[in-house]
Amino acid sequence: MFISKIYRTFASRKQINNIKKIQYYLKTIMIIVPLKEGENIERALKKFKKKFEKTGIVKELRKRQAFSKPSVEKRKQKIHAIYVQKLFLSEE
């Protein structure tokens, strides 16, 4: 809430909406990493990073930064499907 008030003077409406989306994601997703007694902090950070990556927040935000037409998305999916199919056929 406070961040968006500060950015209103410096940011465009699109940037403010992106900030609001980020704040929404941060509020709705809470990653909990239970620590055992005597466990190393580096190991806990590694677990946190892994869980955070599995949520897909960063991937989703990067995807939303630029609009791509649905036809382009379908074309990419088809090309990828053909590539995967060729890999499976070459293994057999």
Residue among 20, 14, 28 at smallest CA distance from 67 = 14
Count, residues in the chain: 92
pLDDT reported for residue 1: 47
Q: How far apart are CA 13 and CA 67, in angstroms?
A: 16
pLDDT reported for residue 79: 97
Q: How far apart are CA 56 and CA 90, in angstroms?
A: 31
Spans in the chain with pLDDT lower than 50:
1, 4, 6-7
pLDDT reported for residue 74: 96
Strands (E), 12-90: none
Instruction: Find where tokens 């990067």 sit.
Output: 62
Contact criterion met (CB below 8 Å) for 54 and 34: no
Instruction: Find where tokens 């950070």 sit.
Output: 45
pLDDT reported for residue 25: 63
pLDDT reported for residue 13: 67
Split into its structural domains, the chain has a count of 1
pLDDT reported for residue 57: 83
pLDDT reported for residue 4: 47
Could you tell me the residue range of the domain that residue 55 belongs to?
Answer: 2-91
Per DSSP, the chain holds a count of helices (H) and strands (E) of: 5, 0
